[in-house]
Amino acid sequence: METFRQVSDRFDTGTAQAYRWFVFFVKTFAGKIGEYIAWPPRYRFASVLSKFDDLREHSFPNAFGAVDGCHTAIKCPRVDSGSWYNRKGFQSLLLQGICDAERPFMDVYMGWPGSTHDARVWKNGPIYERLKSTAHQVLPSNGHILGDSAYPCDTFLMCPYCDNGHLTKRQKHFNVVLSATRVVIEQAFGLLK
């Protein structure tokens, strides 16, 4: 994270001009957010499912999206600074994203401190509320989102079996296929970074 003074030095401009460019960028992007980050309309549901199906020879059935959290490094706030340290040892803001098979984000939710567990962010996010109350409008019938082991399994969220060393062959296969399909969210975050 850099100050406006550092940015203005890097681009050989005044601090005020760097600030004006920043505000212009944020306002422009915020005004177009629905063009870049949007939940698919009902008429595209079949297409989204089909693209997940075509991802791999053995894709996870009825996958509609993949969810995960990503830590964005920040300068530590003065208030409650300990909350911003994540399990990786740096201060961060947690970004939760859901993407489709082609990796564009369909939903993002950001703002929680880095120490917050992915499951808590998920359960407090607006998409969870929409899925809980109107899943039939948000997802195709039998469609679901794929999450990793940090997320709680639900009718609309499929997660791997907890590997306690006693999984059956079928459960291990389930985990492998789910993980191979949900890797798109890891790739989406990689492209974002």
Same domain, 27 and 42: no
Same domain, 13 and 53: no
Q: For residue 4, what are the domain limits?
A: 1-31
* pLDDT reported for residue 2: 64
What is the overall mean pLDDT for the chain?
89
The answer to whether the CB of 21 falls within 8 A of the CB of 10 is no
Same domain, 100 and 184: yes
Same domain, 21 and 90: no
Same domain, 129 and 173: yes
* pLDDT reported for residue 14: 83
Q: Could you read off the pLDDT of 109-164 as tens digits, one per residue?
A: 988 899 999 999 999 999 999 999 998 899 999 899 999 999 999 999 999 999 98
* Percentage with pLDDT > 90 across the chain: 60
Residue 146 corresponds to which amino acid?
Answer: L
Cα–Cα nearest to 145, from 124, 122, 169, 163: 122
Q: How many C-beta atoms surround the C-beta of residue 20 within 10 A?
A: 13
* pLDDT reported for residue 166: 94
Cα–Cα nearest to 44, from 119, 124, 138, 109: 138
Domain count, the chain: 2
Alpha helix positions (H), 81-168: 118-124, 126-138
SS3 category, 75:
coil
| Segments of the chain scoring below 50 in pLDDT | none
Q: Taking the model in full, what pTM does it have? A: 0.83
* Burial class, 145, CB count within 10 angstroms (exposed 0-12 / middle 13-18 / buried 19+): buried
Same domain, 104 and 17: no
